[in-house]
């Protein structure tokens, strides 16, 4: 790379440097980023960050807090979140939808979550029908419907519901069979293959989420290996691959050195596949591409601002990562006073304090507009919403992304 480039965090731009000045136009105005993005054809859920106080990006409804699997690293304690096994009642469902649809002018997405939500497909159908009715009565735009599933529950009725309401499906798959079934249970992969095949036969596109753990790393399975596996097995080119959210005592915990090695290495691989016109990539890379295309910084975490989660019992949380933690419940949809002002202010203030714009270290960091995280995962590691984690890794990831992007653009021209 003979040329020098400057990254400006203030207008989120890359400029080529010469001896006297910055050469304009910037990379954005030569349009290579949009060309890359069109190649990728992302099917992952995109976070809407341009929200006002009357718009909610995502409402997560916890349909059931039980699961037919018992994943070894599950932060939700087998899907129960430490609570008695339960399914959301129709009354709670209606109260939740009424509260949120009257509080916000528009909700972009409804996400059905668990546990394993496809254990109760009839509840999902009832929720979709009631939401459609509310949107008609209140003259509101209909949100997009999403479901996150382990992909082991298949029936004609489930497929009919997915088709009828155009539900976008995310399937949790942790990689090749030996890894997936070690983490999630034996005899599960064949069921997933049958489930995803049925989706394809019905022309339902689906996305994949894979949780990267120390088991992957110790088994010499890297991000690029996973991307090739998911494309060759399921035909999916872009995958969401977050690192595992566990405390440091877990055998699946990944330290910062490992994260740097695994995730930065994958960036070079992804740009090589893009250059070969056969892109395989993962969500963290495409997220940074989107930041540079729009020149809009990524939020650190949408919890409590862009998202709200409601449990099977009607408790209201900033995110599903906090379900079962009463300190972060701001109320209950079945109560006479649905949102408790004191709890709301407590949680809201912590969520605001967790934003990059409120953190002195974040504000002084060159990578601040490109940085992202999860306050739920931060809480698991630190016991705090505001204490950031893995900062060194995230800077290394941003730096590697920029370098590989420049190399890609220069080689293309």
Per residue in 97-147, pLDDT (tens digit) is 999 999 999 999 999 999 999 999 999 999 999 999 999 999 999 999 999
Cis peptide leading into residue 339 (ω within 30°): no
Q: Measure Cα distances from 85 to 116, 142, 153 in Å.
A: 12, 31, 18
C-alpha 5/C-alpha 13 separation (Å) is 10
| Confidence grade of residue 46 (pLDDT, cut at 50, 70, 90) | low
> What is the mean pLDDT of the segment spanning 378-400?
95
Contacts of 79 (CB under 8 A, 6+ apart): 64, 65, 66, 67, 114, 115, 116
Helices (H), 66-116: 90-103
> How much is the pLDDT for 1?
52
Q: Measure Cα distances from 168 to 84, 139, 412 in Å.
A: 29, 23, 35
C-alpha 41/C-alpha 50 separation (Å) is 22
Q: Measure Cα distances from 359 to 196, 353, 393 in Å.
A: 42, 7, 18
CA 219 to chain centre: 25
> What is the mean pLDDT of the segment spanning 50-66?
85
Per residue in 100-114, pLDDT (tens digit) is 999 999 999 999 999
Minimal CA–CA distance to 150: which of 208, 110, 63? 208
Per residue in 358-368, pLDDT (tens digit) is 888 899 999 99
Which 8-state DSSP code applies to residue 64?
B
| Confidence grade of residue 20 (pLDDT, cut at 50, 70, 90) | very low
pTM for the whole structure: 0.92
């Amino acid at each position: 790379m003979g040329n020098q480039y400057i990254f400006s965090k203030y207008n989120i731009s890359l400029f080529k440097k010469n001896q006297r000045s910055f050469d304009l136009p910037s990379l954005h105005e030569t349009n290579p980023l949009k060309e890359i993005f069109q190649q990728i054809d992302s099917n992952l859920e995109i976070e809407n960050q341009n929200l006002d106080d009357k718009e909610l990006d995502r409402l997560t409804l916890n349909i059931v807090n039980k699961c037919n699997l018992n994943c070894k690293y599950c932060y939700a304690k087998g899907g129960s979140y430490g609570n008695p096994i339960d399914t959301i009642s129709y009354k709670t469902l209606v109260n939740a939808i009424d509260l949120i649809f009257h509080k916000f002018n528009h909700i972009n997405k409804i996400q059905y979550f668990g546990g394993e939500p496809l254990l109760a497909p009839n509840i999902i159908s009832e929720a979709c029908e009631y939401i459609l009715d509310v949107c008609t009565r209140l003259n509101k735009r209909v949100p997009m419907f999403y479901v996150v599933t382990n992909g082991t529950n298949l029936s004609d009725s489930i497929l009919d519901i997915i088709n009828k309401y155009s539900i976008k499906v995310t399937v949790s798959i942790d990689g090749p069979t030996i890894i997936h079934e070690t983490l999630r249970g034996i005899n599960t992969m064949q069921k997933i293959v049958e489930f995803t095949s049925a989706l394809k036969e019905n022309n339902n596109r689906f996305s994949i989420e894979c949780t990267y753990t120390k088991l992957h790393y110790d088994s010499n399975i890297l991000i690029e290996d996973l991307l090739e596996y998911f494309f060759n097995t399921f035909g999916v080119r872009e995958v969401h691959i977050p690192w595992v959210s566990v405390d440091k005592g877990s055998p699946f915990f990944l330290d910062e050195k490992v994260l740097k090695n695994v995730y930065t290495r994958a960036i070079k691989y992804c740009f090589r596949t893009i250059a070969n016109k056969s892109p395989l990539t993962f969500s963290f890379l495409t997220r940074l591409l989107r930041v540079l295309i729009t020149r809009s910084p990524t939020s650190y975490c949408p919890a409590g601002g862009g998202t709200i989660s409601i449990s099977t019992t009607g408790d209201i949380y900033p995110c599903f990562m906090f379900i079962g933690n009463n300190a972060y419940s701001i109320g209950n949809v079945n109560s006479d006073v649905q949102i408790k002002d004191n709890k709301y202010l407590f949680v809201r203030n912590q969520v605001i304090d967790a934003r990059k714009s409120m953190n002195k270290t974040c504000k002084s960091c060159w990578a601040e507009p490109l940085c992202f995280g999860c306050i739920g995962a931060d809480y698991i590691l630190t016991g705090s919403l505001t204490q950031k984690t893995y900062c060194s890794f995230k800077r290394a990831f941003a730096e590697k992304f920029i370098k590989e992007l420049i190399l890609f653009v220069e080689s293309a021209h």
